[in-house]
Amino acid sequence: MPQPSPARVVVLHGYRASPDAHWFGWLADDLRADGVDVAIPALPAPQAPEPGAWLHVARAAIGVPDERTVVVGHSLGCVTALHALSRTPGDWRLGGLVLASGFDATPSAVPEVAPFTARAADHDRVVAATAARHVVGSDDDAVVEPALTRALAERLSATFDLVPGGGHLLGREGFTTLPVVRDRVRAALGLAPR
């Protein structure tokens, strides 16, 4: 009998962030304790991101996903994840997609990320191929309007988890842990809750 593929999580950070920012390292440590392979690629030039370069790195990190793979995105990492998955060739399945403070239309506070939203990702393909879809947002995000995050959840037919007063879910706002994301990832991988 073939062995199941190992559980994998790919975390895509956002604009002006890095793999060790916010709650990413905490999430990786939590999952690695259960033998999950976690990758948090450094997306190039995060202070001046370019879609082609980000998609190249994101697609390489995600590879060909399967039902034991979960992709996590934060902010600009969310739309990057959607474009990377949209462009993954072949017939693939994804165990879970967990997007925090995400958007797929340009937020008014950061018009410089407009090149990432100039062309729509293939939402229908991502929805059809992804078993569990979750979006996490707050009601007072000053970087990405909360309405954009809710609209993303609707386009993905995803559950929506509200973090009241959570801002943009940044480390400097107190979010060095984000249990709701951890719980959604663990559930998608079939791991026991914490």
Burial of 85 (C-beta count, 10 Å sphere; 0-12/13-18/19+): buried
Q: For residues 120 and 173, what is the distance between their CA atoms, to the nearest angstrom?
A: 30
Residue 74 sits at the vertex; the CA angle it makes with 163 and 187, to the nearest 5 degrees, is: 65
In the annotation, is 83 catalytic? no
Q: For residues 175 and 100, what is the distance between their CA atoms, to the nearest angstrom?
A: 12
The beta strands (E) that lie in 31-183 are given as 37-39, 69-74, 94-100, 130-138, 159-163
In the annotation, is 101 catalytic? no
Using DSSP bridges, classify how beta strands 69-74 and 94-100 pair: parallel, antiparallel or unpaired: parallel
Confirm if 149 and 137 have CB atoms less than 8 A apart: yes
Confirm if 40 and 13 have CB atoms less than 8 A apart: yes
Using DSSP bridges, classify how beta strands 159-163 and 130-138 pair: parallel, antiparallel or unpaired: parallel
In the annotation, is 34 catalytic? no
159-163 β-sheet, strand order: 37-39, 8-12, 69-74, 94-100, 130-138, 159-163
Give the active site residue among 22, 30, 75, 83. Answer: 75
Q: Which residues are catalytic?
A: 75, 141, 168
